[in-house]
Amino acid sequence: TDASDLIGTASKKTGIYALDDDSLNISIGVMPGITSDEVQNAFITLAESSKNFIALVAPPYGLDEVQDAVNWINGASQDVRAAAINSSYAAVYWPWVQVFNAFAGAEQWYDPSIFAARQCVFTDAVSDPWFAPAGFRRGRLTKPTGTEIRLNQGDRDSLYSNSINPVSNDPTTGITIFGQKTTQRTPTALDRVNVRRLMIYIRKVLLELGKPFQFEPNDQFTWELVEDSINPFLDDLLARRAILEGAVKCDSTTNTPARVDRNELWCSVTIKPTKAAETIVFEVNLTSQSATIN
């Protein structure tokens, strides 16, 4: 299939633009086996512009070394990707995984982003979107039987420092996704998948909460109603471990005369997102026999 056919056109809602539909409630996007940089770039751009979903992608099958994957995401492999990926609306997974295909009666290689999407759905079912879809609790893959390359700790560190989420294959613990970075290069909370998915969730809920106030008088009475509708939502996020703190402001400071004259109602929502514990450090201290341990 030609790349232009996969991308489609925005006006006709063909190709990937079929996902740009207000009636669709999607939060995860995946293109299994599509590794064309042109299509992937368009897919990520759509995720950024719509703000509705995070795009999960992967390098092409057949990369021989960890450095090949690093070169790929950094746009240093001119033959397969000429530009680096840098977006909080995208996450990359590697290496590819092997799964038994019952229809073909043989083991076949599959794009790891398929299974990353599956773990996001699993996370939603057993926890919430703002829990990291990685690690032994929510990142363990049950269907794959092998990986394209078996990574050691150094490999995983190299991949993760370059915003590639490693798919680890350990003889004792199995095949597990060991990362949840987005491809955003600037170090902010949005360089993690769980925070980006939280923000997607919050945006969608706020849009729904705001609908009853469209075309209402743009005055203090309405502003207070807006705040009263959002505060319980923030309390719910706090109770469900999505945030550590949150606040909403909808008053004359957010709704200046200029904004009111433009028929705009502005509401400021500030949150402190919960971060994931990705590195566990145990500090063991030795002491003398005469010391008292508290």
Quick: pLDDT tens for 78-113.
Answer: 777 889 999 999 999 999 999 999 999 999 999 999
36 and 159 both lie in a single domain: yes
Residue 290 is assigned to a structural domain of this protein: no
Distance from CA of residue 253 to its chain's centroid? 33
Domain for residue 259, yes or no? Answer: yes
Q: Are residues 238 and 153 in the same domain?
A: no
Give how many domains the chain has, as a whole number: 2
* Residue pLDDT, tens place only, 17-39: 999 887 788 999 999 999 999 99
Residue 48 counted as domain residue: yes
Average pLDDT over residues 164-187: 97
Boundaries of domain holding 237 = 214-273
User: Are residues 19 and 85 located together in one domain of the fold?
Assistant: yes
Looking at residue 2, what is its pLDDT?
A: 83
The pTM assigned to this predicted structure is: 0.94
pLDDT in tens, 103-149: 999 999 999 999 999 999 999 999 999 999 999 999 999 999 999 99
169 and 90 part of one domain: yes
Taking 70 as the threshold, does the pLDDT of residue 205 lie above it?
A: yes
125, 262: one domain: no
Return the pLDDT at 162: 98
186 and 218 assigned to the same domain: no
161 assigned to some structural domain: yes
Q: Are strands 174-177 and 164-170 parallel, antiparallel or unpaired?
A: antiparallel
Q: Is residue 289 part of a domain?
A: no
Q: Are 185 and 250 members of one domain? A: no
Q: Give the closest residue to 8 by CA, choosing from 31, 33, 24, 25.
A: 31
224: tokens are 């207070």
| pLDDT at position 273 | 98
Least confident of 14-18, 109-113, 194-198: 14-18
pLDDT for 171 beyond 80: yes
- Mark whether 162 and 257 lie in a shared domain: no
C-alpha–C-alpha distance, residues 84 and 89, integer Å: 14
What backbone torsions phi and psi does residue 231 show, to the nearest 5 degrees? -55, -45
> What phi and psi, each to the nearest 5 degrees, are found at residue 53?
-150, 165
Mean pLDDT of 229-254: 98
Last residue of a domain, one of 155, 176, 191: 191
Say whether both 180 and 231 belong to one domain.
no
**What percentage of the chain has pLDDT greater than the value 70?**
100
Q: Are residues 145 and 11 in the same domain?
A: yes
Residue 24: CATH number of its domain? 3.40.50
Q: Give 3-state DSSP helix, strand, coil % of the chain, rounded to 5.
A: 35, 20, 45
Domain assignment present for 204: no
Query: Confidence class of residue 294 from pLDDT cuts 50, 70 and 90?
Result: confident
Mean pLDDT of the chain: 96
Closest by CA to 87, choosing from 39, 51, 137, 35, is: 51
The percent of residues in the chain predicted with pLDDT above 90, rounded, is 90
Boundary residue ending a domain (191, 224, 240): 191
pLDDT confidence tier of residue 1, bands split at 50, 70 and 90? low
Q: Does residue 206 sit within a domain?
A: no
Q: Give the CA-trace dihedral at 257, 51, 22, 227, to 10 degrees.
A: -40
pLDDT bin (cut points 50, 70, 90) of residue 156 is very high
Residue 80 falls inside a structural domain: yes
187 and 242 co-located in one domain = no
What's the mean pLDDT in 240-268? 98
Q: Are residues 146 and 10 in the same domain?
A: yes
